[in-house]
């Protein structure tokens, strides 16, 4: 027997063959996002490097979800700057060496319960190389094919409606000021484009690490010239061209 409900231009059907979904309650909803190695600096200038994957971008703005008590969140609140280092799938082992480590001392209770331990030198632990940035104090990761220097423009609390979660997670809105890439991920014949067939990001899906497979279908959106997406933050980033050479600070 078939039942149907009319919506605006849509027919919603419920037959045995079409009822293919089962209701579940997974503990996390990490269906697959790129891994970011987020570098920050504390009040003494010591660098911290934290893997995370709760991140997305719109233009030259990024949204980063972090536990409020984490060392990275504390550094971002204090210094308002960071580097978003994007590892390729070839760096999976280095990223995994940072698992269950934190720059916070003492270790926050929630992380301690999950087996985290304090690690004062994350770069050494991962076997990665810090290199100087142009517009921010935290270093970039030399081995990452993509690094983006950024500043914090706003901080948004998450789950403020729920007393049990209130204050636990912060979402940082960052504005990218510099994008650095390895030449082998650039699109041949262009100055400012990444070749998606060369760029192999490391993906986190339900706590496991994966690579990105080949393109599965031609994209209609790819017909839009990328230059049409260029926003005012790109021009704004050039205002900091000589930030360190002239001694000015943001």
* Separation between Cα atoms, residue 32 and residue 210, nearest integer Å: 9
Determine, yes or no, domain membership for 3.
no
Q: Looking at the domain assignment, is residue 17 inside a domain?
A: no
Number of domains in the chain: 1
Whether residue 110 is contained in a domain is answered as: yes
Residue 125 lies in a domain: yes
Euclidean distance between CA atoms 119 and 48, whole angstroms = 9
pLDDT tens profile 94-123: 999 999 998 888 988 888 888 889 999 999
Per-residue pLDDT, 7 = 66
User: Is 241 inside any structural domain?
Assistant: no
- Computed over every residue of the chain, the mean pLDDT equals 89
CA pair distance 59, 233, nearest whole angstrom: 8
Predicted structure pTM score: 0.86
For residue 243, tell me if it sits in a domain: no
Its domain, for residue 218, covers: 28-236
Split at pLDDT 50, 70, 90, the class of 2 is: low
- Check whether 142 has a pLDDT greater than 60: yes
Parallel, antiparallel, or unpaired for β 10-14 and 3-7?
antiparallel
The answer to whether residue 13 sits within a structural domain is no
Per-residue model confidence (pLDDT) at position 248: 46
pLDDT in tens, 71-98: 999 999 999 999 999 999 999 999 999 9
pLDDT confidence bin for 245, thresholds 50/70/90: very low
* CATH at 123: 2.30.110.10
Residue at 9 is within a domain? no
């Amino acid at each position: 027997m078939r039942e149907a409900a009319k919506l605006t231009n849509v027919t919603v059907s419920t037959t045995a063959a079409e009822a293919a979904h089962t209701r579940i309650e997974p503990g996390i909803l990490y269906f697959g996002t790129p891994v970011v190695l987020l570098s920050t600096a504390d009040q003494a200038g010591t660098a911290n490097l934290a893997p995370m994957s709760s991140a997305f971008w719109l233009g030259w703005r990024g949204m980063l979800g972090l536990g409020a008590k984490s060392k990275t969140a504390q550094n971002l609140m204090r210094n308002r700057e960071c580097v978003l280092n994007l590892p390729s799938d070839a760096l999976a082992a280095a990223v995994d060496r940072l698992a269950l480590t934190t720059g916070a001392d003492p270790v926050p209770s929630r992380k301690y319960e999950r087996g985290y331990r304090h690690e004062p030198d994350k770069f050494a632990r991962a076997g990665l190389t810090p290199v100087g940035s142009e517009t921010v104090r935290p270093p970039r990761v030399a081995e990452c094919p993509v690094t983006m220097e950024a500043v914090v423009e706003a901080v948004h609390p998450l789950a403020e409606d729920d007393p049990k979660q209130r204050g636990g997670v912060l979402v940082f809105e960052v504005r990218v000021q510099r994008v650095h890439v390895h030449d082998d991920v650039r699109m041949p014949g262009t100055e400012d484009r990444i070749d998606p067939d060369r760029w192999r990001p490391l993906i986190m899906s339900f706590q496991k690490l994966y690579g990105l497979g080949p393109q599965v279908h031609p994209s209609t959106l790819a017909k839009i010239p990328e230059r049409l997406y260029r926003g005012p933050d790109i021009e704004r980033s050039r205002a900091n061209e000589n930030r360190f050479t002239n001694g000015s600070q943001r």
